[in-house]
Chain A
Amino acid sequence: MDLTLFLLFLKIGITCFGGGYGMMSMIFDEGAKRVGLTINEFTDMAALELVCPGPIALNSSTYIGYIKGGVSGSIFATLGLILPTVTVSILTIIFMKKFSESRIVRGLFRGITPACGGLLIYTSITLMLSIFFGTESIHEIHELIFTRETITLLILFVSALILQFRFKIDPIVLTLIGAATGLVFLH
């Protein structure tokens, strides 16, 4: 398991462009294929990261490593994640700034940055399907069932979007609002 986790996060670390959220889709997809990560485990991770300090990428490798392979799993997952970044950093120091100015790296960013944005939308859609309909893919929606719980979740989701985009409310405040709403209405 340690080796599987190491290789999984090595793969994620290699394709990690443009910040921790850029790799969320990779964890979501590759995690399901390689270590049987479920949608519930993924959304737990996304939720707990909001109350944990440090870069999202490191939080993710630690959490997935821990739930799939204990403390040693979390160490191996984190080592796998940071190895490509550390290598790139060292190459940058050796070759000065040439690396980031090379056409190949600029080309990579040109394709990968928009792709990461698109993948995040794909991940959000899949997570919404899971949270609101309890399905794992877009092909499985048969009927809409509105319970008191899904309506509460929907109101919370829409409010979080409005507070974030319209009023620029800090993610930490949104997290506290989500936790409080859940404590009162969802237990």
Chain B
Amino acid sequence: METTAQKSLFLFWTFFKSMMFAFTNGSVALPAIERGVVDKKHWLSHEEFWTYPVLGQTLPGVISIHNAILIGNRIAGPAGAFSALMGVILPAFVCMLGIAALFQAYVDNPYIQGAIRGIRVVSVAIILGNAVRLLQTVPKQAFSIVMVLAAVFVPLLTGFGAFQTIIACGIAGILSILFMPAAPDHPQTSINGDND
């Protein structure tokens, strides 16, 4: 049996190296993490492992951080949670610092400028793609459609910002669930054409 310290060290290293290759989305790292803690160490079953990312998605906050804390805590308690958390934060933090410093040093180079301007345009297309993917998970109900339209046009045309819009939509969501009990509670159950 490994000690908590050994388990924590392994957790840190597994999360760290998996995150090093997770570009654009933290969840890309999950299969590599599963290989470490399920296939190699047998600390969890395949089914139990995947309950944590599913749970993490339903919680407010950064999903990869939820996954690290929940899986780390399950395997090696608070020390495991902390190690896994560091394994998630460090690659993103250190790489971004390096890239930011390099970029500032070469910001005047016309070729770097050109490349970055090309990537910028692509990044807007990718942001738009993420908007579409996010909206595909939203049930097709009148309430959701009103929320989407409000979130596009209120900040675009009025002085209200993203923060006020998010808070207002969150409150509207809570009110809708408290006062419209007939409406389907769970997004997955409401896709097949329910109208509220």
* Chain A interface residues toward B at CB < 8 A: 11, 13-22, 24-26, 28-30, 33, 43-44, 46-59, 62-63, 66-67, 71, 74, 78, 81-82, 84-86, 88-90, 92-93, 97, 99-100, 103-128, 131, 138, 153, 156-157, 160-161, 164-165, 171-172, 174-175, 177-187
Contact = CB atoms under 8 A, between A and B. Distances in A.
A89 B166 contact: no
B142 to A, nearest CB: 11
B19 interface: yes
Contacts of A46: 120, 123-124, 127
A153 B167 CA distance: 35
Contacts of A109: 58, 60, 173, 187
Contacts of A121: 128, 131, 148, 151-152
Interface of B: 19-26, 55, 57-66, 69-70, 73, 81, 85, 88-89, 91-93, 95-97, 99-101, 103-104, 110-111, 113-132, 134-135, 137-138, 143-145, 147-153, 155-157, 161-163, 165-167, 169-178, 185-187
Q: Is the interface of A mostly helix, strand, loop or mixed?
A: helix
Contacts of B122: 47, 50, 156-157, 160, 174-175, 177-178
A118 B132 CA distance: 9
Q: Is the interface of B mostly helix, strand, loop or mixed?
A: helix
A118 B167 CA distance: 14
A30 B119 contact: no
B127 A48 contact: no
B66 A112 contact: no
A3 to B, nearest CB: 18
Sorted nearest first, the 9 A-B pairs with minimum C-beta distance are: A111-B173, A182-B118, A54-B92, A118-B151, A85-B61, A178-B122, A187-B114, A115-B169, A120-B131
A185 B176 CA distance: 51
B132 A165 contact: yes
7 contacts: A33-B161, A55-B25, A88-B61, A92-B66, A109-B173, A124-B127, A185-B114
